Structures are given as C-alpha cells and as structure tokens.
Structure 1
Amino acid sequence: MIKVLVADNHPIVRIGLETALKKNDIIEIIGNVSTTSELFSVLSSKQPDVVLLEMDIPEVNGITALRKLKRDYGNVKVLIYSGQPEDVYALSTLRAGASGYVSKTASIEILTGAIEKVAEGGMFITNELAQRLAFDESTNKPRKLFRKLSTREVEVLKLLSAGKRNKQVAEELNLNEKTVSTYKARLMRKLNVDNMVDMLQQAKALELY
C-alpha cells in the first residue's frame, strides 16, 4: 500500500480526497493536516510514502514547507496538489524538491496515477504542461518571464503580492530585509517593470493573488 498524508487547509478537500482515494486498492490515507505545524508534528511520528501538499497551506508558504520537508524527511515524496496556476508554479516546486504537480481541476484518475508514479520514484507533470513548457509561448509573455524566476524569487513575489512588507517577508523566509530588497530589485528587472505597482500587476495577471 502507498501511504499518503494529505496537507490542505480546506476541510472539504481533505474529506473529499479521503473519500475518493479510499476506493483505490493500493492507496491508504494515513492522516490529514491543515497547517504546516500539524504537518511536521505528524511526520515526526508517521512515515508516509507521499505527502499531498497544498501550495497555500497556512503558517509557512508551500515552497518553504516543501524545502524543510525534503531536508528533514528526504525519503518522503511530495506531490503538490494545488489550485494555483500549474504553469506558473510547477517548475518552482519541482526545483524545490517536489516530485510532481497536480492541479485541483484534475480528475481523480489523474491524481491517483500521479500518486502511484511519484511513490515509485518517478516525476509527474501533465502532458499539457510539458507541451506548454516545451514551446515558446510568444503570445503569453508574462508567463515566459515568470519562468525565468528562481524558486526564491517566486516565494518573495508571492508574499509581496499577498500584501506582506519587507520585514514580514524576511521573517517568513528567514532572510534579512536587505536581501528582500535585493530580491525585489531582481524581480523588477526580470519582469521588465520599474515600480512596485507594475510588479504587483504582473503578479495579478499571473493569478498570484
């Protein structure tokens, strides 16, 4: 059996996943959590094969939680299961150690297939995403620019987009404020903007809000 731990802050999602995945003969849900502190508390006593992780799980942002999880529990596979745009976040989460990315719009068949593939040591992204990443999308310049950002730059932009000040971003990502200011300058340069308003408009266009 593939032991799966669900980490998602939406109760209906957790209940729905547990109900749907119970029908699968090789997947066992061993628990579900709604925050990162609950996630790491459970991981200290249980050893899932796969963590199904929501990007927007409370307390610590998803990419930071993913990094800590892979550092402290390297044998556990992480499959991101999120409502955030796939072609915006998939590369960043894969770079940070995830084994795959599944959109919440995907069917339960796709999700179970992804869990099985990741548990076996494979990587999972949808064919549609693979095709979008393979070709130059000249009609979607913002997303092309976004894919040039590092994982840390994505984290900083997401927190700034959520209205966090430099000090709050620094505290959440364990950086100093000067470093956050440096990331802001890099983001403006890479996104071809010269002020915060335009940068946050880019983030809005990319559905980071």
Structure 2
Amino acid sequence: MKKVVIADHHPITRKGIAALLDGTNEYLIVGKVSRGHELLQCLERERPDILILELDIPEMNGFHALRSIRNEFPNTRVVIFSSHPEEIYAMRSIKSGAAGYIPKTSSKEIFLQAIKRISSGSIFLNEKIEQAYNNKSNTDNTIVGRYKKLSAREVEVLNLLSNGKRNKDIASLLEINEKTVSTYKTRLLKKLNVSSLAEMINQARMFQFS
C-alpha cells in the first residue's frame, strides 16, 4: 500500500480525501496536517509515497515551499489539490516539482484516477489544460494568456505581493536579495501590461492570487 499524507487547512477536506482513499484499499493514510510546521515534521517522520497538498495552508510559502519539499523528500510524489484557477496554477505546479494538479472541483472519479496515475509514476494534468498549454500561442495577449506566461518564481512573487508582503519580506521568504525582488516587480508590471503595483495586485486578486 502507498503511504499518503494529506495537508489542507480545512478539516472536512482532509476527512473527505481520507475517506475516498480508504475506500480503495490501496493507500494508507499516515498523516493529516493543517499547517506547514506539522507537515514538515510528518514528512520527516513518515517519508510518505504521496503528499496531497493545498498550497495555501498556513506557514507554507506556495511554490517555494513545494520546491523545498521536492528537494528534501525526493521520493515523495507531491499532488497539488487546490481551488486556485487551474489554467494559471497547474503548469506552475508541475514546473515547481509537483507530479500533478487536481482542482477541488474535480469529481471523485477524476480524483482517484489522478492519484492512481501519480502513484504509478506518471504525471497528471487535466486533458484540456495539457492540450491548451501544448497548443498555446506566444501571441496570446489576453489577461489569462499573460498570466500563463509567468514563470513559477514570478507567480510566487505576485502571490506574496497580493498578500501585502514588502520587498524585504519577500526577499527573506524566497531567500533572494531585495534588488532581485524589485527586478521581479518591474518584470511583472511589463508582462501583465499594468502601470502600477496597485493595478497589478487588483488584477491578480481577480484571479484569486491573494
């Protein structure tokens, strides 16, 4: 049986995932956590095969934390289970080391299919999203198109800015210097075709980056 840890700050979500997986007799739930420090302790103790992770749990820093987990626990396959917009976050998650992205709007059949595929060593993405990214045009200048072109690190910086973090805070969290943060902000303004930080943050919040 595959050992699974579930990390989500909603208790009903944790219980629901556990119930779904228990019903298959293929997975052993070895941890259910709601905060970043609990997750790291659990991963260190259990060394699970699969981590089902909501990026927004307290004490976690999104994609940066995801990359850190992948580096520290390379044998654990990470599945992002999130309510963030799939067309923006799915490929960012994969690029940051996740083995799959499952939206919280998925049916239980899709969820179990995804976990089974990931547990066997494959990558899971919604078929429509995968095709959209494979076929996307570099000339797509819609708002969604511009967000799709952001790198994983740019999305991280944007997410932190949207949550009111200052340059100094972002530099500390991402382990980069403040000048680099300023460079990312300038790049984001240009890529998202906005003229001010306030406009960029308001637009980001429309896409649930906050």
Q: What RMSD in Å do the two structures reach over aligned CA positions?
A: 1.7
1:1-209 matches, within 5 Å, as 1-136=1-136, 141-209=142-210
CA contact (8 A) 2:140 2:146 kept: no
How far 1:120 sits from its partner (Å)? 1.1
Residue by residue, what CA displacement relative to the aligned partner does 1:9-51 show, whole Å, maximum 9, x if unpaired?
Answer: 1111111211222111212211111112111111111121110
When normalised by structure 1's length, the TM-score is: 0.94
Show structure 2 runs of 5+ residues with no match: none
Q: TM-score, normalised by structure 2?
A: 0.93
C-alpha distance in 1, partners of 2:128/2:141?
Answer: 15
What is the count of residue pairs matched by the alignment? 209
Per the TM alignment, residue 107 of structure 1 is displaced from its structure 2 partner at its CA by 1.2
CA, structure 1 residues 69+139, in 2 after alignment: closer, same or farther (shift >3 Å)? closer
What displacement does 1:180 show? 0.9
Question: Please, which moves more after superposition, 140-149 or 155-164?
Answer: 140-149
Distance in 1 of aligned mates of 2:81 and 2:32: 13
Q: Identify which range, 60-69 or 86-95, moves more after superposition.
A: 60-69
Unaligned runs of 5+ in 1: none
Task: Tell me the SS of whatever aligns to 1:45.
Answer: helix
SS of 2:46's equivalent in the other structure is coil
Question: CA offset at residue 139 of structure 1?
Answer: 8.4
Conserved 8 A contact 2:7-2:54: yes
Q: CA deviation at 1:144?
A: 0.8
- Aligned-partner SS, 1:5: strand
Are 1:142 and 1:206, in contact at CA under 8 Å, matched by a contact in 2? no
Q: What SS does structure 2 have at the residue aligned with 1:192?
A: coil
Tell me how far apart the structure 2 counterparts of residues 116 and 198 of structure 1 sit (CA, whole Å): 42
